[in-house]
Amino acid sequence: MSQSEDTTAQATALTNHDRKPIHIPGSIQPHGVLLALNTQLEIVQVSNNTQEYLGKEPEDLLTQPLGCLLDARKVEAIKQCLVKKIGSCSALKVLINTSNGERYFDAIVHRTEEAVIVELEPRDSESELSFLGFHDLAGEAIAKMQSTSNLIEFLHIAAEKLQDIIGFDRVMFYQFDESGAGSVVAEVKREDLSPYLGLHYPATDIPAQARELYTRCLLRFIPDLTVEPAKLVPTENTITHQHLDLSYCVLRSFDSCCIEYHQNMGVTALLVISLIQEQKLWGLISCHHQTPKYISYEVRKMCEFLGQIVSSELAHKISHSEWDYEVKLKSLQSEFLNSISQADNFIDALIKPEIRLLDLVSASGAAICLDNEVTLVGATPNIDQVRALIEWADTQVHDNLFSTDSLPKLYPEALIFKDTASGLLLLRISQVRRYYILWFRPEVIQTVNWAGNPKESIQAQADGSVTLSVRKSFAAWQETVRLTSLPWRACELESAMSLRNAIVGIVLSKADELAKINLELERSNQELASFAYAASHDLKEPLRGIYNFSTVLLEDYAQILDDDGVECLQTVVSLSVRMETLINALLRLSQLGQAQLREQVTDLNELVDQVIEIFRASQQNSGLIDIRIPRPLPIVQCDRVLVNEVFSNLIGNAFKYNDKPEKWVEIGYLEEGLGTRDWGLGKSFVNPIPNPQSPIPNPQSPIFYVRDNGIGIPEHHLETIFRLFKRLHSQEKFGGGAGAGLAIVKKIVELHNGQIWVESTLGVGSIFYFTLE
């Protein structure tokens, strides 16, 4: 069999495996009872174990109204499910008269395409898990999970807490890759069990239809893989004349392959919780136990809730690091595109400084091809090898953007330069001319630890066909992966396409193309600012709810909580207040990003007098406030409201971060050639010697300053203090705050096309300079 025939046969086997109808097994697990109802709530299908739990044979229940088992109030509650969407689930506590007396059940109800399915699981009594009981079990777990920003540490904590709750032998986090294969990224287990942490599993272990079911039903529980399932009676639904769809059923029975697979792992009880990110299956929390183990429905729902908390935090922790990287690329891209748009020779703009072209997609080397002229940057194949590669691309690559992390597998000649170009990202700039940019990444040799040989499940038959079978061994099996580079990320591909859109106008002499790019960048910035505003605004409503409900609990239920519970709620309240402060700062910064300047002729003397008057009124109990203005301030063209905010922030900070017994602030401006004085002695000055590293403003614009005798700023923080939410001290020192004031000041100054910087001596004081162009 040729390699292509072998690949086709494997693909056919995998496709057939994926089409196995595991959502319609025709049976359920025997630790509960299933009732399928029509729209009149008449029983049309039941599991064949009703005698054991309800004291009635299946035939005695078929065609009967649900009222033969439940009281009118419960029947009415279940009737409401008829108007809910398919898959929506409700849970009731019900009491049923059986031949052995009254018996309590958890009734789990959900809609199907045809009608309603009711699953009954017996319970010991009518009691249910209280809110405080749930809080005791879940509260500590949630708090500890949220205490770390490290993804792996976060997953490990979640695994530990989940194992504490359910007592299973092994709890592990299983992450899928783009192909459907997976790996164990966190694990907590019984000491004598072999570890699965770091092991990889092929996509065939959890086929596509199983992964799809996990996106619909977020929790799967099998207390005993060795039991015989309970068949449905009749086999086909009397309404549809088809097997009943059990996709959303908690009692759905398990496939024979599932039994064999887990028994080969030594597993008898299984609990699986889906982790969803951006409506896609990111991974699973897979819990194994070597002996049968039943968990009540309430505890399972708590586990499902914890899984949702993990999914939510997971999205935040993953997106945070990805967002930082994307922002970095966007910033570099914006700077890069601006320089290219103004360049006469765009090759010079691309490679000078050369690091920018490589950083744009995190490559180690690049080649720029304009017809027969090829320019190399960084670590690349030699010029002849690059020319041959471009010849190959001319015939094999038809899209404007092409990427691979294993070039030698597609282009065997690349074997000789795998150390520099196992990964290729190719950008075609023109469909008419041979204009390319090629980025390269070196080979990264990887050792992949598989849980058993992944090829063991794919078996060739005597007739040449390929079938899938359940793997017998899960012992660590190593595979060395060669001829591959680090994969290209989606944001890097977008960055490359953005570069193409920018330079196409220069290369093809289309000036209007550049105008469109600038318009698109402006629109993107506006959308980003609008998004930040909308996200911040929308966050306030749920945050207000958290604050209000926490306050209600403190006011009305404090007497039934212990000291730890009260302290937890008080912490929630204080954190809510802190979060609202941060959100308000973000909202303000977002508003500035969309603001239009309303410039007018402004007398800064009047403006500063108003700022000082308001500041003194707010500081009545703070003793003497010494604010010095050595000479009258000039009249300027500016947005009066925004510049008022600049002076308010700088004056407020000057007094706030000051531990001297006699505090003072000086407000003034500098002009060329007016001399200098020693500001370190606390005397007034007109024109201090500027720091040579400070920005050089427009010489025609006055340089305003706000100077103080406060605590000063360490030299290594002089650049970072203007970042959003950057605080140099803890919340307890100097009155707290969001750490957004200076970021807002910087934004306002930049809206006026000005600059702001600071000079400071620790323990002596600081001077903030700014210009308004």
Q: How far is CA 482 from the centre of its chain?
A: 31
Give me the CATH code for the 344-443 domain, please. Answer: 3.30.450.270
- Position 575 scores a pLDDT of 62
Cα gap 94→35, rounded to integer Å: 14
In the DSSP assignment, the letter for residue 556 is H
Q: Decide if 402 contacts 426 (C-beta within 8 A).
A: yes
Q: pTM for this one? A: 0.51
Q: Decide if 682 contacts 707 (C-beta within 8 A).
A: no
The stretches in the chain having pLDDT less than 50 are 1-17, 466, 509-511, 513-515, 672-699, 729-731, 734-735, 738
- Average pLDDT of the residues of the chain: 78
SS3 content of the chain, % helix, strand, coil (to 5): 45, 20, 35
Angle in degrees, CA 257, 113, 105, rounded to 5: 70
Q: Say how many residues make up the chain.
A: 773
Pick one of 3.40.50.2300, 3.30.565.10, 3.40.190.10, 3.30.750.24 as the CATH number of 599-770: 3.30.565.10
Pairing of strands 170-176, 435-441: unpaired
- Position 397 scores a pLDDT of 86
Query: CB under 8 Å to 667, separation ≥6 — which residues?
Result: 608, 627, 628, 629, 633, 647, 651, 704, 705, 706, 707
What pLDDT, in 10s, does the model give residues 728-762?
544 455 445 545 678 888 888 888 888 889 898 88
What pLDDT, in 10s, does the model give residues 141-169?
777 777 777 788 889 988 998 998 899 99
Give the helix/strand (H/E) hosting 420: helix 418-421
- Position 351 scores a pLDDT of 63
**Greatest distance between any 2 Cα atoms in the chain:** 105
- The alpha-helical segments, DSSP class H, found in 281-382 are 297-341, 346-351, 355-359
- Position 318 scores a pLDDT of 63
3-state secondary structure of 710: coil
Q: Decide if 589 contacts 743 (C-beta within 8 A).
A: yes
